[in-house]
Amino acid sequence: MSEGLNKLKELEAQGYGITKSRETPEGMVRCIMTQSSTGLKKVIDLTPEEYKLAMSRR
pTM: 0.84
Q: What is the pLDDT of residue 1?
A: 60
Q: What is the pLDDT of residue 2?
A: 86
Domain extent listing, the chain: 3-53
Q: What is the pLDDT of residue 18?
A: 96
23 phi, psi to nearest 5 deg: -85, 140
Question: What does 13-26 look like in DSSP terms, one character per residue?
Answer: HTTEEEEEEEE-TT
Quick check: 44 and 31 in contact, CB under 8 A?
A: yes
Q: Output the furthest CA–CA distance in the chain (Å, rounded).
A: 32
Q: Residue 58 pLDDT more than 80?
A: no
Least Cα distance to 17 among 42, 41, 35 occurs for 35
pLDDT in tens, 4-54: 999 999 999 999 999 999 999 999 999 999 999 999 999 999 999 999 999
